[in-house]
Amino acid sequence: MSPGSGSADGVLPDLSGLRLGSADDAVSPHVGLRFGYGTNGFANHRLDDALAVIADLGYDGVALTLDHHHLDPFAPDLAAQVDRVRGRLGALGLDVVVETGARYLLDPRTKHHPTLVSADVARRVDFLRRAVRIAADLGARCVSFWSGVLPAGADPAAAWVQLRAAVAEVLPDAEDRGVVLGLEPEPGHLVQRLADALALRRDLGSPAALGVTLDVGHCVAVEPVDAAACIREAAELLVNVQLDDMLPGVHEHLEFGEGELDLGATLAALTDVGYPGLAAVELPRHSHAAPDVAARSRTALQRAVRMFAAPGRVSAAGGRVLADSDGVLAVSGGMLADPAGLDDPGRAWLDRGAAAVRDEPAAIRTLFPAAGREVGRAPTHPETDPQGLVHGTVDDAARVRLLGALDPDALAAEVPDLYRYGDDAEKRGVLRGLAPTGVPAGIGVPLVQDALRANDIRLVAAAMGPYATNLDDHSWRHGVLKCLFVGVPLDAVAGWRHRADPELRRMVADYAAERTAAGREVPADARRLLADPQEGA
């Protein structure tokens, strides 16, 4: 993440700190966010070439729009083609999600037709079922789809019923093949906003195989709240994310910085909710300059990730981050840039401290222990989280910012000792900083494991944040059970709905049975985990 450490071509900063998972294992847990690029933004490239360019730029995966020239779902030798593309993705180390928004794939005369709300719905349903099979064969966990524009004169209520029935027809295929469907709210469509997608899902009985695809640019264009708020609302139902900029009221996919998206806050929200999937750039109208646009987008994403953990970027006005030197970005910091409760002297101390750490990394050794005395120790969300178990405390956030001022080498060098010699609060600060600063798993995971052996519930809570995605399944399940056992709120466990599996539910059910047998109350969070509709997902 150091701006100075360039890649071979000297253009792109090294991203090794952000790509911590094993690239050839698409389901391995990763730290922080994984970025992809949509192949519909490479419409003028052969698919193989597009994949190579995207991989070379350092993306973690692709959002593959099935199209007549990109893995044609109606090709006579489809099976062989799928095998070949799967091999290609594997060789390049790319994860994949399947997109179904091709323009003239089903109808050469009418763009995007037929849809799930038009008369000839059967062809769209057939296509989606086909897409599910392709996704399963490719090793993609998600198929993304939209509802369609209500035809002129059509009755919205009837269209809703048709849409519901059509989705219900595709769901069994998805369930059978272990693929999840992502319904994408699309401006102008029957399902236009996140609330519509959530309503349809409820209408269908909240099936586990149906989630939400969120295009963060669409949030700017049509949602009543910003993208970060949409992400927090969708939270565990998010199965696919598309990244682009947009202007309010205008459905035009723009490069980052050209619209009003708060990219830093958006990425921070994705980190906060523990979103485990790909977040892929969606710029379908930029194919004419695809390699350059993809490179610029990559740089913007890296910069935003760095900035949402970078303390020097915070203005005194309230956490909004200044535009970057080249004016491309206006980023604010989500959970990391503006800890609630930070007063002016505290902020000034933190700004000075972060600058000192950037100048001389060893300065963090004396600043880290002093953070609580200087900025306070109050929980950032006192009303809902008085102990700071879920969202942390002001000093936690301050320490995370200090960590964010270290370059990757210094971070790797300092973090083990900051933890080893840290008091309870300093250890917490390290734990909460692991994911946002991108500490390599080889360094961070042993610290998380140490914290999970502790009985201090604040350490346990901090250990089960987003970085816990790096734990193996057994350790993670025991971490969750420990939370239930000692009274750490389940909400402190990042992404628990995504990762809770039948074995965890068995463990929790046994725990509940033990409590019941002893005549003791079963903790509400245990009941919540057992009752979650995602069961079996």
Partner 1 sequence: MRIFDPHIHMTSRTTDDYQAMHAAGVRALVEPAFWLGQPRTTVGSFTDYFDGLIGWERFRAAQFGIRHHCTIALNPKEANDPRCVEVLDVLPRYLAKDGVVAVGEVGYDSMTPAEDEVFARQLQLAIEHRLPVLVHTPHRDKANGTTRTLDVVRESGIDPALVVVDHLNEVTVGMVADSGCWMGFSIYPDTKMDEHRMVAILREHGTARVLVNSAADWGRSDPLKTAKTGRAMLDGGFTEAQVDAVLWANPVGFYGQSGRLNLDELPGFTGAAETFSGNSVLRGARPDVVLEAER
Residue numbers of the site for partner 1 (CB under 8 A)? 366, 369-370, 372-373, 377, 384-387, 421, 423-427, 454-458, 482, 485-487, 489, 523-525
CB neighbours of 452 closer than 8 A, spacing ≥ 6?
460, 463, 464, 475, 478, 479, 482
Residue pair 391/335 in contact by the 8 Å Cβ criterion? yes
Q: Give residue 388's region: left, alpha or beta (phi > 0; psi -120 to 50).
A: left
Instruction: Rank residues 322 and 485 by Cβ distance to partner 1 and give the closer one.
Output: 485
Q: Which of 423, 536, 526, 442 is nearest to 480 (CA)?
A: 526
Residue for token pair 């902020």: 347
Round to whole Å and give the CA distance between 340 and 332.
14
Question: Based on CB atoms, which residue is closest to partner 1, 179 or 457?
Answer: 457
φ and ψ of 249, to 5 deg: 80, 0
Amino acid type, 476:
W
Nearer to partner 1, 206 or 384 (CB): 384
* CB of 491 vs partner 1, minimal distance in Å: 9
CB of 447 to partner 1, least distance (A): 14
Q: State which residue, 223 or 525, has the beta carbon closest to partner 1.
A: 525
Q: How far apart are CA 142 and CA 278, in angstroms?
A: 10
Q: Which long-range contacts (CB under 8 A, 24 or more apart) does 100-105 make?
A: 100/65, 100/66, 100/127, 100/128, 100/131, 100/143, 100/144, 100/145, 100/146, 101/40, 101/65, 101/144, 101/145, 101/146, 102/40, 102/65, 102/66, 102/67, 102/68, 104/68, 105/66, 105/67, 105/68, 105/73
Distance CA 298, CA 220 (A): 20
By the 8 A CB rule, do 483 and 455 touch? no
Q: Which is nearer to partner 1, 226 or 374 (CB)?
A: 374
Minimum Å distance from CB 428 to partner 1?
10
CB of 424 to partner 1, least distance (A): 4
For partner 1, give the closer residue by CB, 443 or 454: 454
**In whole angstroms, what is the distance from residue 331 CA to residue 152 CA?**
40
What is the closest distance, in whole angstroms, from the C-beta atom of residue 372 to partner 1 in the complex?
Answer: 5
Q: How many residues does the chain have?
A: 537
DSSP state letters, 465-505: SGGGGGS-HHHHHHHHHHHHHHT--GGGSTTHHHH--HHHH
CB 94 to partner 1: min, Å: 41
Closer of 22 and 366 to partner 1 (Cβ): 366
- The span from the first CA to the last CA of the chain, in angstroms, equals 35
CA distances, 201 to each of 27, 184, 194, 393 (Å): 25, 12, 11, 35
Neighbouring CB atoms inside 10 A of 24's CB total 12
Q: Which of 99/426 has CB closer to partner 1?
A: 426
Please report how close the Cβ of residue 486 comes to partner 1 at its closest, in angstroms. 4
Question: Would you report the helix, strand and coil content of the chain in percent, each value rounded to 5?
Answer: 50, 10, 35
Query: Which C-beta is closer to partner 1: that of 442 or that of 446?
Result: 446
What CA–CA distance (Å, rounded) separates 322 from 313?
6
Q: How far is the CB of 395 from partner 1 (least distance, A)?
A: 9
Smallest CA-to-CA distance from 346 within 393, 389, 382, 381 is with 393
Residue 104 or 421: the one with the smaller Cβ distance to partner 1 is 421
The secondary element (H helix, E strand) that includes residue 36 is strand 34-38
Smallest gap from Cβ 417 to partner 1, in A, equals 9
CB 383, min distance to partner 1, A: 9
Which residue lies nearer to partner 1 by CB, 7 or 475?
A: 475
Distance of closest approach, residue 487 Cβ to partner 1, in angstroms: 4
Least distance (Å) from partner 1 to the CB of residue 103? 50
Q: How far is the CB of 468 from partner 1 (least distance, A)?
A: 18
Q: Which is nearer to partner 1, 481 or 509 (CB)?
A: 481
CA distances from 509 to 229, 365, 505, 514, 520 (A): 33, 44, 6, 9, 14
Q: Whose Cβ is closer to partner 1: residue 372's or residue 479's?
A: 372
Per the structure block, which two tokens stand in for 343? Answer: 């007063």
